[in-house]
Structure 1
């Protein structure tokens, strides 16, 4: 479900792109150093956004290194990382552990069981460090999974559970920005969930899998309503962001929230247009 919160590279200045990539590579480095190859495999663009947002808000200075990696072995690349990167890496592992656990419990997936066993000790160590946060994330996922198993048709309800999870992830400190960050995360999470459902609808229709948009699919205004839902929740998300005193990296963050998050939706629209033209021919 992650991977939607990314940049729109053509709309980004090159210096900002290199900064974004440096934070992305920095998160990859921290994941590998703390949790090995499996940790590195959990790398997401979404957590890079979290690192940039919280680094900008709290003016956390990064450490700068230049290193080679398995993906780019020929040339050294800039890497930025700080304490917030460490936090994001920990949360990546927590989410991945719960994902594996869910796959095992629901589908008896051997991959899920293997992943859960591989991350069990690591997850328990992180839980010792963030007991309240891990419990809140677990509860959000339990409510989400319960709603999905009951095939909840109200997408506002089910997306709200994922929104609560994202809101919790953005709460790095218990301070004056807590409510604003939680609101930003809540609506960003709703956007991610709705867009994921929109993106997977055809596949879910064919497989018979749960998708809260299935009941809306036969509506002649389906595309219009989906676009409106996404626009409304993202407007709330962006409104919350603009209340934060983010100065450094503000252009990158706005690129993500105003343009980049629409990448997958725009790709889907182009695909739909091609399919419609193919049918007409």
Structure 2
């Protein structure tokens, strides 16, 4: 679910990379300060993107301080902070907790059960702040669970539910930008679901778990067919983004939408191709 909406560092300038790290490290620090070490573990690229997007759109002023990270101690970094990073921190806890709950119900993953318990009180705090969002996302996950239990192979229906979930997350306020943010999140959520299913198909086959791509995985043109789906989803999401009046951080956001999101696909595709050709991976 997480880790697909990432930046392509090779195509960023030094200034742009520093900006990205400022948000990433700022979100890490915000999770730690607000939700402790267990909350900090939930840090991910996807919610960093959310923080940058909303900061750029709403022109939310950023404060920063220098910090020497224990994981990267050789150089001081700037930690950014603003209300959008706080919101992204809340959404990180919300989505991580519900994903752990879903993993436990679907696959009985003990690690998800343990982490879910660790996040329970933190999640309840988020639920108090955003009861409507939590309610809608829970309904989406329940519907997704039902479709997967019935082994539904309608990728549009399944990905569409993921779209509803991320649409709710990106749509910060019910204001003039609500519809475009929701639309952007909708298609980005669909992209993530399809990408996640594409990456996990072999693992799911081996574990006898549901995956909507199982029946077409061995068919000719599978990779191309999935890439066409992904291209369509990210094109619609990017189109909605381009209609938003985002000026600050726009280059970083475009880097993610037009380049970064494809990093995982290329990695999975190459690994699968090498495996089929008998090359070590």
Partner of 1:95: 95
Which residue pairs with 2:170 in the alignment?
A: 170
Q: Tell me how far 1:9 sits from its aligned partner.
A: 1.1
Counterpart of 1:212?
212
**For residues 234-253 of structure 1, what are the structure 2 equivalents within 5 Å?**
234-253=234-253
Q: How big is each residue's C-alpha offset from its partner over 1:61-99, in whole Å with a ceiling of 9 and x where there is no partner?
A: 111111122212343211112101111111111112212
Summarize deviations over 1:25-84 as a string: whole Å, max 9, x none. 000000000111101100000000000000000000111111122212343211112101
| CA RMSD between the two structures | 1.5
What SS is found at the alignment partner of 1:75? Answer: strand
Q: How far apart, in 2, do the equivalents of 1:230 and 1:143 lie?
A: 22
**Runs (5+) with no aligned partner, structure 1:** none
Change (3 A) 1:131 1:194: same
Q: TM-score by structure 1 length? A: 0.95
Matches within 5 A, 1:120-135: 120-135=120-135
1:126-154 CA-to-partner distances (Å, cap 9, x unmatched) read 11111111111111111112111211101
Q: Does 1:161 align with 2:161?
A: yes
1:65 maps to which residue?
A: 65
Mean Cα displacement is larger for which, 254-263 or 142-151? 142-151
Q: Give me the TM-score of the superposition, normalised by structure 2.
A: 0.95
Query: Which structure 2 segments of 5+ residues have no match?
Result: none
The residue number in structure 1 matching 2:259 is 259
1:44 maps to 44
Q: SS at 1:42's partner residue? A: coil
